[in-house]
Amino acid sequence: MYDVLIIGAGVSGASIARRLSRYKLDIAIVEKDVDVSMGASKANSAIVHGGYAEPHEELRGRICYPGRTQFEGLNKELNFGFVANGSLVLAFEEEDKDALQKLYDMGIENGLPDMEIIDQEKLREIEPNVSDNAIAALWCKGAGVCSPYEYVIALVENAVANGAELFLNSRVCDIQKDDDHFVVKTENDKELEAKYVINASGLEGAIVSKMIAETDFDIHPRSGEYLIFQKGTGKKINNVLFQVPTEKSKGILATRTFHQNLLLGPDAIDEEEIDLSTHEDRLMYIYEEAQKSVKDDVINLREFIRSFTGLRPASSTHDFIIEESNVPGFINVVGIQSPGITSSPEIAKIVESILKDSGLNLEEDPNYDPHRDPIIEYKELEDMNKIKDKVNLPLGDPERIVCRCEQVTEKTIRDAMNRGIPVETLDAVKRRTRAGMGFCQGQFCKPRVLEVMEDEMGKKPYDEKFDSERSGLSRLNKKRINELIKEMQDTNRKEIEKKEEK
């Protein structure tokens, strides 16, 4: 019997598992999908938020900043990729300054010590490529960016290294209370017993809760689409650039990723059904809105490599739900949308406190090791001419470069596959090593990666979930972007010709 069973291996479940693995506990992590970080934690803005965007009355407003302050230490222990490059909320009109003041006041109430409202001169000093139309900004120095899926992978790897057990492909279908413990059943016929159950199942949070507890909330998907550009394009921006937020989102942003890709998005659409496709009209809206934040030469659509959609598990309460249910020992951790990644260290602490108050004995494990070695670290790409000989090395040579665009070696791929989490899809290797994330989007390296995986596993990897192209999703690609560029150029030319005729 497990002491604690966690349903869901997204950022909340992973953070809780890693936090609890420091104690002498038997921990199970049960995940419905083929890998960890497959839901909202995989596809998002990757921002470690400042903590000024939500009011203090909301739980997410109170715990965002305390969570943010832990990221530097977590990154030193887990090596997932984090940089505190700062954030700017831009004002373009005089009335926008009132919104900046409101955000500043909320930040002060939430305990932030590192904000200031700056004028045009200061703004252009710290962000030379900001739009000439920006007249002021709220600057938060300690906000930043991380690699979100690498963060979740690191958390789970470390939890597993400290004794937690991970069960993938194990969708929970039934939960029963049997005297002093729970019996959790999965669709693949597992039956697990645990003293405490933590529901961190993301978009399925209400569904799982209703299996055992009175549930007075709903969870619905809120989609946001993104445009991402090739590596190096993120160097044009120093800070995360927000616009004045709306009721649903923090506005269209332009930011660098940890690995120096330019990222634009998201919009925010409440959905009735899950849809991970991307749509031309939404992406063009994001492109046009993001252009308002920067100078004309910052965003070049010819450097676009991919579009994607993220889904946020928005709750009917409009806030995080972190509480023990009416069934003692069953704890809901749901509705964790933005700023969920930033808040995740504090979410884990709250759950730890609930468990302690509920009677779970938390005895420190002297063998607990908080360290996890990196799989990859940020690197500048070498000149292709200098690495071409390594590309042609034979299978089995650790220095063989499997992915040219991101210069990923065979040694890195094999390391990623032997970290305590089963890695059996191309997509799983991609998130851990960046093989396939470069300019050609895997056209060169896909068969090479699969070759290494088959050699390492001794069997063919199953890849029905490896990428959108095999799952029937429709996503804007580079070919269509180039067509749209031509259409826009033709439209602009015709408008100019009409004006000249007049």
* CA distance linking residue 182 with residue 353, whole number of Å: 20
- The whole-angstrom separation of Cα 138 and Cα 108 is 12
Residue 467 has pLDDT above 70, yes or no: no
The model's pLDDT over 349-374, given as tens digits with 9 standing for 90+, comes to 999 999 999 999 999 999 999 999 99
| Amino acid at position 493, single letter | R
Question: What's the CA gap between 74 and 154, in Å, rounded?
Answer: 10
pLDDT given at position 251: 74
* Whether residue 173 has pLDDT greater than 60: yes
Q: How far is CA 86 from the centre of its chain?
A: 18
Q: Which residues pair with 321 in a beta bridge?
A: 334
Of 421-425, 454-458, 471-475, the one with minimum mean pLDDT is: 471-475
Length of the chain: 502
Asked if residue 96 has pLDDT above 70, the reply is yes
Going by C-alpha positions, the residue among 138, 136, 133 that lies closest to residue 292 is 133
Q: Which of 416, 415, 411 is nearest to 395 (CA)?
A: 411
Core vs surface per residue 467-493: b (16+ CB within 10 A) or e: bbeeeeeebbbbeebeebeeeeeeeee
What is the DSSP-derived secondary structure letter of residue 460? P
pLDDT above 70 (res 66): yes
Task: Report how far residue 307's alpha carbon sits from residue 287's, in angstroms, rounded to the nearest whole number.
Answer: 11
Write out the two tokens for 286.
């994001």
Domain 84-142+220-314 top-level CATH class: alpha beta
* Cα dist from 57 to 60, 285, 434, whole Å: 9, 33, 40
Beta carbons within 8 Å of 486's beta carbon, 6+ residues apart: none
3-state secondary structure of 200: coil
Determine the topology of domain 377-471 in CATH: Arc Repressor Mutant, subunit A (1.10.10)
What tens digit of pLDDT does each residue of 107-148 get?
999 999 999 999 999 999 999 999 999 999 999 999 999 999
Q: Which residues contact 149 (CB under 8 A, 6 or more apart)?
A: 37, 41, 42, 431
The pLDDT of residue 468 is 46
Q: Give residues with Cβ within 8 angstroms of 14, minimum separation 6.
A: 29, 36, 37, 41, 152, 155, 156, 159, 344
pLDDT in tens, 184-231: 999 999 999 999 999 999 999 999 999 999 999 999 999 999 999 999
CA pseudo-torsion sign 428, 417, 449, 404: positive
Mean pLDDT, residues 311-340 taken together: 97
65 close to 143: Cβ distance less than 8 angstroms: no
pLDDT digits over 367-402, tens only?
A: 999 999 999 999 999 998 889 999 999 999 999 999
| Residue 154: alpha-carbon gap to chain centroid | 13
Paired tokens of 4 = 């604690």
- Which pLDDT value is given to residue 250? 62
**Residue 87 clears pLDDT 50, i.e. is over it:** yes
Give pLDDT tens digits for 291-302.
Answer: 999 999 999 999
- Render pLDDT for 424-452 as a digit per residue (tens, 0 to 9): 999 999 999 999 999 999 999 999 999 99
pLDDT of residue 489: 74
> What per-residue confidence (pLDDT) applies to 497?
76
Q: Are strands 269-270 and 165-167 parallel, antiparallel or unpaired?
A: unpaired
Where does the chain hold its CATH 3.30.9.10 domain(s)?
A: 84-142+220-314
Chain region(s) in the chain for CATH 1.10.10.1100: 377-471
**Does residue 165 have a pLDDT over 70?**
yes
On the question of pLDDT at 471 being above 70, the answer is no
Q: H-type helices in 232-363, by residue range?
A: 280-291, 340-357
CA-CA distance, 475 to 465, in Å (whole number)? 15
DSSP string, 34-91: SSSS-STTTSS--EE--S-SS-TTSHHHHHHHHHHTTHHHHHHHH---EE---EEEEE
Q: Is 364 helix (H, G, I), strand (E, B) or coil?
A: strand
Classify 120 as helix, strand or coil.
Answer: helix
* Residue 279 among the catalytic residues: no
User: Which residues have a Cβ under 8 Å from the Cβ of 461 and sit 6 or more positions away?
Assistant: 424, 425, 426, 450, 453, 454
Residue type present at position 166 = L
Predicted confidence band of residue 470 (pLDDT cuts 50, 70, 90): low
The label of the residue with tokens 């019997």 reads: 1
Q: How confident is the model at residue 479 (pLDDT cuts 50, 70, 90)?
A: confident
Residue type, 299: I
Q: How far apart are CA 171 and CA 151, in angstroms?
A: 23
- CB of 253 closer than 8 Å to CB of 140: no
147-157, pLDDT tens digit by residue? 999 999 999 99
Domain spanning 1-83+143-218+316-374, CATH class: alpha beta
